[in-house]
Amino acid sequence: MPQITVRGAGIFGLSIAWVLTQRGARVQVVDPFGAGSGSSGGLVGALAPHVPENWNDKKAFQLESLLMAEAFWAEVQEAGGLDAGYARTGRLQPIADDHGLSLARARTEGAETLWQGRAVWEVVAADSIGGFAPDTPSGFLIHDTLTARMHPRQACAALVAALSARGVEVVAETPDAGAVIWATGWRGLLALSAEVGKSVGAGIKGQSAAFRYAAPDAPQVFVDGLHIVPHANGTVAIGSTSEREFDDPVGLDAQCDDLITRAIAAMPVLADAPVVDRWAGVRPRARSRAPMLGAWPGKPGHFIANGGFKIGFGMAPKVAHVMADLVLDGVDTIPEGFRVEASM
């Protein structure tokens, strides 16, 4: 059995370690901050697809990963006994005007082909939806059935439990053994940038919050750049900001308050719901804006899996499998735009 070290216990590192373990590798996971301590320990968990048009490798990769997610998380939950918070509950988006309505209907046809008949993108009348729905000027909403939710903290805990059931623990530090996969988040991107002498990515801070409001089966809402995600634990998460400049990576400020105000304006049913959690952290964004996957150039035996940014949880099942293919079997199916070189 090959020995592999995974450095980083966020969603990419834990998912890759899980698939490697399933395939029989001996794995050790190393993270000095602990599992899910970075951006993977947030609140939102919106696994939302790209618009079904102008198709490319990134959208195709994401589609496959989103379709893999249900089976992936079911296996994790069965192995470790913890609920990952996954459910494919869909998403609603308001339509502003006649132009938006025409565009949404055109995308319905695109989804029929591009989503392979396994999910739909449709226009629905707002009055056909229950109480957990956004205001919409046109009277119509976009409803898609591909979007899913994931509770980030629960998902990381479920992966840790599944790995532990296979004898793999997350440790603060230990010497590397065998091939090394670097899934070290925004700090890893900064370290790699310093090593190669140019920026390959950066950290983008985000803030989010959660209301105590039970709507566990309701679709999530996306309005004006804001994700509003009902979870099974009786909360509704909202987020997030995108801050390129920041002094405190985990500091909360008025931008979080603004998210809460915007969420209530979009969803008045939240007006009387108490805010029960707030979060701030830094997400890794590669220069290419796509996940950064593959062999570390000039460093044999070392690999990089980074740059999940806002789509890391949605991409994780597919990322885990393509990295396992590469490291264990030498099979490279990484899209060109996702390669490490694309960000260098």
3-class DSSP state of 191: helix
Please tell me the distance from the alpha carbon of residue 240 to that of residue 261, in angstroms, as a whole number.
13
Q: How far is CA 309 from CA 10, 125, 240, in A?
A: 12, 33, 12
Residue 339 tokens, joined: 């390669």
Q: What are phi and psi of 211, to 5 degrees?
A: -95, 150
Check whether the bond before 240 is cis (ω within 30° of 0): yes
CB-CB contact of 227 with 46 (8 Å): yes
pLDDT category, 160, cuts 50, 70, 90? very high
237 or 116: whose pLDDT is higher? 237
> pLDDT value at position 130?
80
pLDDT category, 2, cuts 50, 70, 90? confident
3-class DSSP state of 94: strand
Q: Which domains does the chain have, with CATH numbers?
A: 3-90+146-343 (3.50.50.60)
> pLDDT value at position 168?
98
pLDDT digits (tens, 9 = 90+) for 97-114: 999 999 999 999 999 999
Angle value at C-alpha 154, between 152 and 157, nearest 5 degrees: 110
The mean of the pLDDT values for the chain is: 96
> pLDDT value at position 296?
96
pLDDT digits (tens, 9 = 90+) for 237-285: 999 999 999 999 999 999 999 999 999 999 999 999 999 999 999 999 9
Mean pLDDT of 68-84: 98
Q: What percent of the chain has pLDDT over 90?
A: 97
pLDDT category, 1, cuts 50, 70, 90? confident
